[in-house]
Amino acid sequence: MKRISLFVLTMFLFIPLIGCGSNQQAGSNGYKDSDIAAIVGDKNITVGELRFLYADQDVLKYIDDAVRVELMIQEAKKMNLDLSDKIDSIKQATATTSLEDIQIDESEREFIKSQARKLDMEPEEYFKDYLEIMSERSMYILEYTSNAFGEPDVNNGEELDEFNKKLDVFLDDLVKEKEEEIEILITQDP
C-alpha cells in the first residue's frame, strides 16, 4: 500500500516528461512538435513530448524539470534494475483504468479533454497514453529515489517535505555533475 501511494505521489511530483504529438505548432511560441527542446545524454526531449503533458502556454516552463527527470531515469537505468515485471503489472493496471474510474476535480478533467482535443485524440485515449507513459517513468524514478534516499512516510507531511528538499538539492547537484551531457536548446522568454 505504501508503495502504491509513493507511486501515485511520484507521478504528480515528476509530471514533466514524455509523450507524443503531431507536428502542429506549439501555441504562439512557434515551435514545431519535432523541435528539440533539450538533449540529455543521448535522449532528445522534443516540444511535442512536452506538449503532450502541458498546455501550450506552459510548455517552455517545464524544460528544466524535464531535464531533471530524464537524468533520474537515465541514472536508474544505469543501475541495471530489472523493473520489467513491475512495469508490465503497471501497464496492465493502466490498460483497465478508465478516465471515469478516477476521482479528479473538474479542472483536471477539463485539462485532459483540452489536451485530447489539441492532440486530436479521444479523452480516454489521451488519458490511457498519459497514464502508461507516466507509470513507466515513475517506476524508474521510484526505484532510483528509493535506492538513493529510502522511502519517506507519505502520510507524514514534514518527512515528505524534508525528502523533497533533499531530492531537490541532489538533483541540482546531479545537473551540475552532468552538465556536459545536457544541452537546453529552447529557453523560456524572459
Confidence at residue 160, expressed as pLDDT on a 0 to 100 scale = 84
Kindly tell me the number of DSSP H helices and DSSP E strands found in the chain. Answer: 7, 3
pTM tops 0.85: no
Compute and round to an integer the Cα radius of gyration of the chain: 17
C-alpha closest to that of 144 among 169, 171, 178: 171
Q: How far apart are CA 29 and CA 56, in angstroms?
A: 8
For the chain, give the mean pLDDT: 80
- Choice between 96 and 73, residue whose per-residue pLDDT is larger: 73
pLDDT in tens, 43-53: 999 999 999 98
Confidence of residue 55 (pLDDT cuts 50, 70, 90): confident
